[in-house]
């Protein structure tokens, strides 16, 4: 038996923890935190530590599969599958045009290799189809969209630069690690040690809320009302940063008029929180000096994500929570191209963030700053006519379980002429596919933390606090006798077999595009050299990639220091806190009414043991199903005991779930994770598989009108004991 330990990067979630991987006889045997790491300090979570099972589980796909005429699957050499897919895709494009091909990219597409995102763009550009859908528009699309209405400060926010206050709205970094990368407790401990304050707005007393100085536990879906109430306090009490506002902001009078009706009493009534807390929260936030406000998925999924994110930007802007000329940028991004890093103390005025590019055929949806609305994907497949989608290539995601309106999405995927799923297991989407391509796992591939490095460009309150960069080589080979392939290599080979030429842009494709950069024309006759691709993807990085590669455990790259530059002479851009579209949407919040007959609200959440869809329902992960967490008083009111199966019914569908008692949940809400359960119509054992909350959502019902994102949290539901046959 030979054992060795190699440093690497965990790529199970977006925290990208530096780890040490014990490899015994060529097999991943143990994953632990790298204690020598100055930022993560040896931190890992249970998902990271139990990922060994991904490498060894008998359920892992080691060979690609093809669906036979009788509906069963047979193994097929991956290269043969690629040849057959190429032929079919070419036929579909010839017959129905390039728009008949769509691609779906999931979280593992974005995570396992920094080459994937750019390769997807290269592939779809070569096919000639604009229809690339990702999870971005069913996650927090309000973030980039709101910047369009508000404008963007061209230097970083004060997010992790020693803030004196952090306002977290529906965001639970202790479980999700969405926040400052690293060990979640370190950030909050540091904040408290400096005398900084934490304000949390969440209908559940989450792991994060328990550490808050002030926790507001409102009705879900009332975040815009609450934030408007806080803005009103700040404006009427004169708590804003007058100098910053005078120099850099427009629209303050319009905002003042718009928030006038949101008195503490009105807000208290709608959101069901103490009026006093709204006032106190506003005062703490505004008087702290330095700080930031950030939202997570909860409020973004309440069908008004753009408005909520806009109001958060307004809060930070009124309080002047942006870096100023001369400030040192602590996290100057190492891997992201230097040319696109914000470093100037001036305002980029509002810009169009939707209404351009590809026009979808439903609900007036268009391309957006967050990408193409994924909520329209099922309709684009089902709606006959010019441009109808006939083939979907799905990489690193699980649309049959994760895209809201599961009933419609599954019907759509079943109706395709061709569905290709790149996966590590027989996920619900794989079960519907014509070809399942067996994928490599992260430790079998080189990687970098480019995706994490990029996060601060995406939004405030996410990413690293220091200039940290990390490259890992592949540290194990795929299992003996297996026939697995990297997602990017699959796309490259497929394009080659289709006779297409790929041009690969550096960085993250459409997500970060460097003006004027040239694509690398790939040799389509042979597999690319992965080192060459990595060099190219990191072209222009602030720290040369060759330097980053020299540090097997990653390194801090504080030098040369970056300081915020003063405003360009003659620059007149201003941030807009009075956008008329946003303020009209805000006004409508006061009269928003809910349907009768659905006394509960289903709210979204993450579970500690899984990353979205469960991977291999192994006992170690204790994640065989997704419980419906209810307040004990609600359980009693329903006549249900913990462990009983309940039916949860929306105006779209009904699911069953195992009830759990949880007094951290706000009464009247049911907190349940997504992405579980099997395919509709197939008899499911809820205690083994869990159930799919996406089934309760209609993709053309209540939605954010810019991103198309349907209401995926705060869903009106009715709960009853489950019918006897479903218990
Ligand atoms: N109702 C509801 N719906 C939601 C959400 C919600 O809160 N509520 N959240 C939304 C959000 S934020 C997101 S990001 C999406 C997530 O949606 P997806 O990205 O589609 O889901 P994941 O579960 O992250 O991706 C899982 C797929 O990747 C496969 N996989 C796992 N590891 C690997 C790997 O290393 N390589 C490859 N190639 N494949 C791998 C899994 O087997 C699975 O099929 O769901 C969204 N949907
Ligand atoms: N362990 C684990 N980690 C994960 C994931 C996972 O599945 N498991 N998924 C990853 C993904 S894809 C993402 S996008 C991130 C998400 O990261 P986060 O956004 O931090 O995700 P959650 O932990 O679900 O936190 C969302 C919070 O919103 C609250 N909430 C629900 N509805 C509302 C509302 O209307 N208003 C307010 N104010 N709050 C509301 C919920 O109670 C919950 O506490 O996590 C990532 N990390
Ligand atoms: S927090 Fe994320 S990156 Fe870190 S060990 Fe857990 S799964 Fe891996
Ligand atoms: Mo997500």
The per-residue pLDDT for range 266-299, each reduced to its tens digit, is 999 999 999 999 999 999 999 999 999 999 999 9
How far from the centroid of its chain's Cα atoms is residue 120's Cα?
18
Token pair in block for residue 141: 């699309």
| pLDDT mean over 179-188 | 96
The answer to whether the peptide bond before residue 22 is cis (omega within 30 degrees of 0) is: no
pLDDT of residue 338 exceeding 90, the answer is no
Alpha-helix residue ranges (DSSP H) falling in 166-274 = 173-176, 184-193, 223-236, 242-248, 252-259, 264-271
| Atom 4 of ligand 3, residue of closest alpha carbon | 17
The reported pLDDT for the residue numbered 661 is 98
How sure is the predictor about 617, in pLDDT bands with cuts at 50, 70 and 90? low
The larger pLDDT score, comparing residue 616 to residue 230, is at: 230
Where are any strands of DSSP class E within 417-465? 418-423, 435-438, 447-448
Q: How far is the CA of 135 from the centre of ligand 4 (A)?
A: 7
Residues whose CB is less than 8 angstroms from the CB of residue 586 and which lie 6 or more positions away in sequence, other chains included: 224, 228, 258, 259, 307, 311
| pLDDT mean over 399-412 | 98
Regarding the beta carbon of 604 and ligand 1, being less than 6 Å apart is answered: yes
| CB contact burial 339-370 (16+ within 10 A = b; e otherwise) | ebbbbbbbbbebeebbeeebebbbeebbbbbb
Q: How far is the CA of 33 from the centre of ligand 4 (A)?
A: 24
pLDDT of residue 693 exceeding 80, the answer is yes
The per-residue pLDDT for range 491-533, each reduced to its tens digit, is 999 999 999 999 999 988 777 777 778 899 999 999 999 999 9
CA dihedral 130, 132, 137, 139 (to 10 degrees): -170
d(CA 638, CA 636): 5
The per-residue pLDDT for range 57-104, each reduced to its tens digit, is 999 999 999 999 999 999 999 999 999 999 999 999 999 999 999 999
pLDDT of residue 642 exceeding 80, the answer is yes
Name the closest ligand to CA 452.
3
| pLDDT mean over 141-168 | 96
| pLDDT mean over 608-621 | 76
Q: Which residues pair with 719 in a beta bridge?
A: 648
**Enclosing H/E stretch for 357:** strand 354-359
The per-residue pLDDT for range 132-146, each reduced to its tens digit, is 999 999 999 999 999
pLDDT of residue 618 exceeding 70, the answer is no
d(CA 446, CA 135): 24
Regarding the beta carbon of 650 and ligand 1, being less than 6 Å apart is answered: no
The reported pLDDT for the residue numbered 619 is 52
Q: How far is the CA of 181 from the centre of ligand 3 (A)?
A: 10
Quick one: which of 715, 6, 683, 118 has its CA closest to 454? Answer: 118
Residues composing the chain: 727
Token pair in block for residue 669: 């809400």
CA dihedral 654, 655, 656, 661 (to 10 degrees): -90
pLDDT > 90 fraction of the chain, expressed in percent and rounded = 93
The reported pLDDT for the residue numbered 302 is 95
What are the backbone angles phi and psi of residue 270, rounded to the nearest 5°?
Answer: -70, -45
Residues whose CB is less than 8 angstroms from the CB of residue 698 and which lie 6 or more positions away in sequence, other chains included: 405, 408, 651, 652, 710
Ligand 3 atom closest to Cα of residue 40: 4
Token pair in block for residue 39: 């930022």
In eight-state DSSP terms, residue 675 is S
Quick one: which of 626, 681, 470 has its CA closest to 38? Answer: 470
d(CA 30, CA 49): 7
The per-residue pLDDT for range 6-58, each reduced to its tens digit, is 999 999 999 999 999 999 999 999 999 999 999 999 999 999 999 999 999 99
d(CA 461, CA 158): 9
Alpha-helix residue ranges (DSSP H) falling in 624-690 = 632-638, 686-689
Please say whether the beta carbons of 630 and 668 come within 8 A. Answer: no
Ligand 3 proximal residues by C-beta, below 6 Å: 10, 12-13, 15-17, 44-45, 47-48, 177
* Residue in 12, 48, 206, 604 to alter for ligand 2 test, most ligand atoms within 8 A of Cβ: 604
The per-residue pLDDT for range 342-389, each reduced to its tens digit, is 999 999 999 999 999 999 999 999 999 999 999 999 999 999 999 999
pLDDT of residue 622 exceeding 60, the answer is no
Token pair in block for residue 287: 């008087």
Quick one: which of 669, 661, 673, 693 has its CA closest to 622? Answer: 673
What are the backbone angles phi and psi of residue 657, rounded to the nearest 5°?
Answer: -155, 160
In eight-state DSSP terms, residue 303 is I
Please say whether the beta carbons of 695 and 576 come within 8 A. Answer: no
């Amino acid at each position: 038996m030979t054992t060795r330990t190699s440093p690497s990067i965990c790529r199970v979630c977006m925290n990208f923890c530096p780890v040490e991987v014990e490899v015994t006889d060529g097999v991943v045997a143990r994953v632990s935190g790298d204690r020598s790491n100055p930022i993560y300090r040896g931190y890992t979570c249970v998902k990271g530590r139990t990922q060994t099972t991904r490498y060894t589980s008998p359920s892992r796909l080691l060979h690609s599969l093809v669906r036979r005429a009788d509906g069963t699957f047979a193994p097929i050499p991956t290269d043969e599958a690629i040849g057959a897919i190429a032929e079919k895709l070419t036929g579909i494009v010839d017959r129905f045009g390039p728009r008949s091909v769509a691609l779906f990219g999931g979280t593992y597409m974005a995570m396992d290799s920094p080459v994937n995102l750019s390769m997807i763009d290269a592939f779809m550009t070569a096919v000639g189809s604009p229809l690339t859908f990702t999870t971005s528009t069913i996650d927090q699309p309000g973030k980039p969209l709101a910047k369009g209405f508000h404008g963007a400060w061209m230097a970083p926010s004060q997010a992790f630069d020693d803030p004196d206050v952090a306002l977290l709205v529906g965001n639970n970094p202790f479980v999700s690690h969405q926040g400052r990368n690293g060990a979640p407790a370190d950030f909050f401990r540091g904040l408290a040690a400096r005398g900084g304050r934490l304000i949390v707005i969440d209908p559940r007393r989450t792991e994060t809320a328990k550490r808050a100085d002030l926790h507001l536990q409102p009705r879900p879906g009332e975040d815009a009302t609450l934030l408007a109430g806080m803005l009103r306090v700040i404006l009427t009490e004169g708590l804003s940063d007058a100098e910053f506002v005078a120099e850099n902001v427009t629209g303050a009078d319009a905002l003042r008029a718009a928030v006038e009706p949101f008195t503490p009493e009105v807000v208290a009534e709608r959101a069901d929180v103490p009026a006093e807390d709204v006032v106190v929260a506003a005062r703490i936030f505004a008087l702290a000096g330095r700080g930031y406000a950030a939202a997570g998925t909860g409020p973004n999924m309440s069908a008004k994500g753009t408005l909520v994110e806009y109001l958060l930007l307004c809060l930070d802007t009124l309080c002047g929570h942006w870096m100023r000329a001369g400030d040192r940028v602590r996290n100057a991004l190492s891997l992201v191209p230097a040319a696109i890093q914000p470093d100037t103390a001036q305002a980029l005025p509002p810009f169009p963030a939707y209404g351009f590019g590809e026009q979808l055929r439903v609900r007036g949806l268009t391309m957006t700053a967050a990408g193409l609305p994924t909520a329209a994907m099922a309709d684009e497949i089902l709606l006959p006519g010019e441009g109808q989608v006939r083939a979907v290539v799905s990489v690193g995601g699980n649309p049959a379980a994760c895209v809201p309106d599961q009933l419609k999405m599954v019907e759509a995927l079943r109706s395709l002429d061709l569905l290709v799923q790149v996966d590590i297991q027989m996920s619900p989407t794989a079960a519907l596919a014509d070809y399942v391509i067996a994928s490599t796992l992260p430790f079998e591939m080189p990687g970098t933390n480019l995706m994490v490095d990029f996060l601060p460009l995406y939004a405030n309150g996410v990413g690293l606090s220091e200039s940290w960069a990390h490259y890992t080589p592949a540290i194990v080979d795929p299992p003996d006798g297996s026939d697995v392939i990297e997602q990017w290599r699959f796309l490259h080979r497929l394009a080659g077999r289709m006779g297409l030429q790929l041009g690969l842009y550096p960085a993250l494709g459409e997500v970060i595009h460097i003006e004027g950069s040239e694509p690398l024309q790939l040799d389509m006759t042979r597999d690319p050299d992965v080192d060459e691709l990595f060099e190219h993807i990191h072209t222009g990085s602030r720290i040369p990639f060759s330097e980053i590669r020299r540090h097997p455990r990653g390194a801090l790259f504080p030098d040369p220091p970056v300081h915020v530059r003063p405003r360009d002479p003659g620059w007149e851009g201003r941030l807009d806190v009075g956008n008329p579209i946003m303020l009209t949407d805000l006004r409508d919040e006061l009269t928003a009414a809910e349907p009768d007959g659905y006394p509960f609200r289903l709210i979204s959440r993450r579970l500690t043991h899984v990353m979205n869809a469960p991977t291999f329902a192994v006992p170690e992960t204790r994640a065989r199903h997704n419980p419906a967490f209810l307040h004990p008083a609600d359980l009693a009111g329903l006549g249900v005991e913990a462990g009983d199966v309940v039916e949860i019914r929306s105006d779209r569908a009904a699911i069953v779930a195992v009830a759990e008692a949880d007094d951290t949940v706000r009464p009247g809400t049911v907190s349940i994770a997504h992405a579980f359960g099997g395919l509709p119509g197939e008899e499911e054992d809820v205690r083994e598989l869990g159930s799919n909350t996406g089934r309760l959502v209609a993709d053309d019902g209540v939605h954010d009108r810019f991103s198309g994102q349907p209401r995926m949290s705060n869903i009106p539901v009715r709960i009853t004991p489950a019918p006897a046959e479903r218990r």
